Amino acid sequence: MTATAAPQERPHNNNFRHDLLSLRRRMLGLSQTELAKTAGISQGTLSKMEQGLKEVTAPHTETLARALQCPASFFFQTEREYGSPLSMHDGMFRKSASVGQKAIDKIIAELNVRIAHLRTLLSMVEMETELPRPAYDVDDFGGNIEEIAQNVRRAWLMPRGPVKNLMEYLERAGIIIVKCDMNGARIDGVSYQIASLPPIIFLSNSLPADRQRFTLAHELGHLVLHRFPTPNMEVEANQFASAFLMPAADIAPDLQRLTIERAAALKPYWKASMGSLIYRAKFLGVIDDGKSQYMWRIMSTKGYRTREPASLDFANEETSIFDALLRNIQEDMHYSHEEMAQALHLHFEELNQMYRLRKKPLLQSV
């Protein structure tokens, strides 16, 4: 990744972005009633502003910026708003049914802001990818997800057996991985494919390592298999993740005579949960339905379906590309806290909370 000259700051104009007003409100989890009260305006006026039916004056802009705790420039960005990612389409994403729409809207609004930040950070560097990003049509393979997963492994020249560092492979293929807090919506991960940007995977930062790896492989499945929503896309992404992380020819011998104790012993080697090992053994026909049900009853009795033994935990894999983008703007481009706030259209305190940036001012280049 090579640093280039910083982009020229885009001049603000009089085109207030009404959709960004709504987006920022949703990002903070506020209702129109709550924001209207904080800003000292009527809900009717705010509603008309968000719909573009009422002109937003300069004083209104400053009032809204204070109420929404962001620079006024936030409302004048040229970045468009994106809806739910493909893997969230029509409620098929992995979340608890008890999660309300407000929590989902909040995280989608935040992801929009993070996408805008990523576009700005990428404009300051030149990126080169080492590995290709394969894309396959499931129908071309007669629905054989196992074969597709092995084709991706071959395209990436991966050795047989467990994937030692999955995140490294994805980043070498130019996929940007950003960890963030998605606990409010109870989402493990989502992926975006946006024109002019590399593929992006947003990953919950609270996941244990085995769940993190499966989520990454699941989202990779979407990037490889799905350009458009399909009824079976979540099942297919799960099948891809299992086949990619645990190739049939490699893992089948290890799953012979599978027991709970053996699943526990295999977990740190394959870097996969005990549960996913049981599922894989059943899918491959190494164990029958009766043995599978018996093992799941033991897992439930021991409480392992909720939390597998902490003694079997292994370290989470860490991102590198996004961290390098942040280091570039601070250390290579020598942006001050104020300049970062101007470039990313949020106050530095919030940026620091989102990205854990440096807290001490950097020396400016002479």
Q: What pLDDT does residue 364 have?
A: 46
In this structure, are 177 and 231 located in the same domain?
Answer: yes
Same domain for 58 and 140?
A: no
Instruction: Clarify whether residues 133 and 213 are in a common domain.
Output: yes
Asked if residue 355 belongs to a domain, the reply is: no
Domain containing residue 23: 1-78
Whether residue 314 lies inside any domain: the answer is yes
Q: Does residue 11 carry a pLDDT above 80? A: no
Whether the model clears a pTM of 0.85, i.e. scores above it, the answer is yes
Does one domain contain both 72 and 115? no
- Give the model confidence (pLDDT) of 132-159 as tens digits: 999 999 999 999 999 999 999 999 999 9
Is the domain of 147 the same as that of 227?
Answer: yes
Question: Is 158 in the same domain as 33?
Answer: no
Residues 2 and 32 in one domain: yes
- Regarding whether 229 and 106 lie in a shared domain, the answer is yes
Q: What is the pLDDT of residues 85-128, one digit of tens each?
A: 887 533 334 444 456 889 999 999 999 999 999 999 999 999 99
Question: How high does pLDDT run on average in the chain?
Answer: 91
- Choosing from 45, 78, 111, the residue where a domain stops is 78
Q: Are residues 261 and 217 in the same domain?
A: no
53 assigned to some structural domain: yes
Domain boundary among 78, 113, 138: 78
Regarding predicted confidence, which is higher, 16 or 5? 16
Residue 362 lies in a domain: no
Residues 204 and 312 in one domain: no
Q: Are residues 208 and 94 in the same domain?
A: yes
Q: Which of 278, 302, 319 is the C-terminal boundary of a domain? A: 319
Give the pLDDT band of residue 357 (cuts 50, 70, 90). confident
Residue 69 inside a domain? The answer is yes
Q: Are residues 93 and 37 in the same domain?
A: no
Q: What is the pLDDT of residue 98?
A: 52
Q: Rounded mean pLDDT of 215-240?
A: 95
- SS3 string, the chain, reads CEECCCCCCCCCCCCCCHHHHHHHHHHCCCCHHHHHHHHCCCHHHHHHHHHCCCCCCHHHHHHHHHHCCCCHHHHHCCCCCCCCCHHHHHHCCCCCCCCCHHHHHHHHHHHHHHHHHHHHHHCCEECCCCCCCCCCCHHHHCCCHHHHHHHHHHHCCCCCCCCCCHHHHHHHCCCEEEEECCHHHCCCEEEECCCCCCCEEEEECCCCHHHHHHHHHHHHHHHHHCCCCCCCHHHHHHHHHHHHHCCHHHHHHHHCCCCHHHHHHHHHHHCCCHHHHHHHHHHCCCCCHHHHHHHHHHHHHCCCCCCCCHHHCCCCCCCCHHHHHHHHHHHHCCCCHHHHHHHHCCCHHHHHHHHCCCCCCCCCCC
Assign residue 65 the CATH number of its domain.
1.10.260.40
Mean pLDDT of 278-287: 97
Q: Report the number of distinct structural domains present in the chain.
A: 3
